[in-house]
Structure 1
Amino acid sequence: MGIIKVENIRVFANHGCLKEETKIGSDYRVDLKIKANLQASAQSDDLGDTVDYVLLNKIVREEMHQPSHLLETVAKRIIVRILKEDPLVTKATVWVSKLNPPIGGDVEMVTIKMTERRKNLQ
């Protein structure tokens, strides 16, 4: 087994419960931690034998561009797609952070974290 991390994916998107948030948008940060068997790719040196982090980045960007009220919804969509589109992934963790959230204070970011395992694992 091994871990692939894709960190600090920066995206501008339109999520939030307030009309202003979905209208003007905000900056977000997404981080991924993917667990997969990396032994085959370590031997073969072939991209087809590993988790392609270009695909992971693409999934994040596409899902972040679909407006949602809650960050939890976006995180769930990202995880579902990763597990669906890459059969090598056995476990996925995603952090979605809203930078400078409009919550009435000096807050750098609000982050939600979600993890799921592939269900058909023994």
Structure 2
Amino acid sequence: MDKILVQGMRFYGYHGAFPEENKLGQRFYADVTLELDTRGAGETDDLSKTVNYAKVYELTKEVLEGEPVKLVETLTAQLSDRLLEEFSIVEACVVKVIKPDPPIPGHYDSVAVEIRRERGKD
């Protein structure tokens, strides 16, 4: 299966388990890999036969800057579900959401959740 990668997207959201995270907000990053057949687009140079990267970014922004949730797991699952709903040509996706500088004891660069979802599988 071919892959389209949209990496290093950066957003500001109000997600987290602690009240101060919901009030102050923080940065979130996302990497998305979409698995699909790109032959039609490659042969015809036709954007309608592939995934528009700008739409991937906008959808990711809606989720990561949207309604606050407590868990990075929830954000990641919501984003993967939305990608599969929006792009019927996509057979599977890998979504990674990164929370840099999490407010937990100790020194961490970041925490992240990465999931893979396939069309038609729960």
- TM-score with structure 2 length normalisation? 0.95
In the alignment, which residue of structure 2 is the partner of 1:70?
71
Q: Does 1:18 align with 2:15?
A: no
Instruction: State how many pairs are aligned.
Output: 120
Structure 1: 4+ residue segments shifted above 3 A: none
For the 8 Å contact 1:14–1:26, the answer to whether it is kept is: yes
Matching of residues 1-122 of structure 1 within 5 Å? 1-65=1-65, 66-119=67-120
- TM-score with structure 1 length normalisation? 0.95
Deviation at 1:13, TM superposition (A): 0.6
Q: Percent identity?
A: 29
Distance 2:119 2:51 in 1: 14
| Structure 1: segments with no counterpart, 5+ residues | none
Partner SS state of residue 73, structure 1 = helix
Describe the superposition over 1:26-81 as per-residue Cα deviations: whole angstroms up to 9, x where unpaired. 11110011100100000010100101111111111000122100111111111111
CA RMSD in angstroms comes to 1.0
| Structure 2: segments with no counterpart, 5+ residues | none
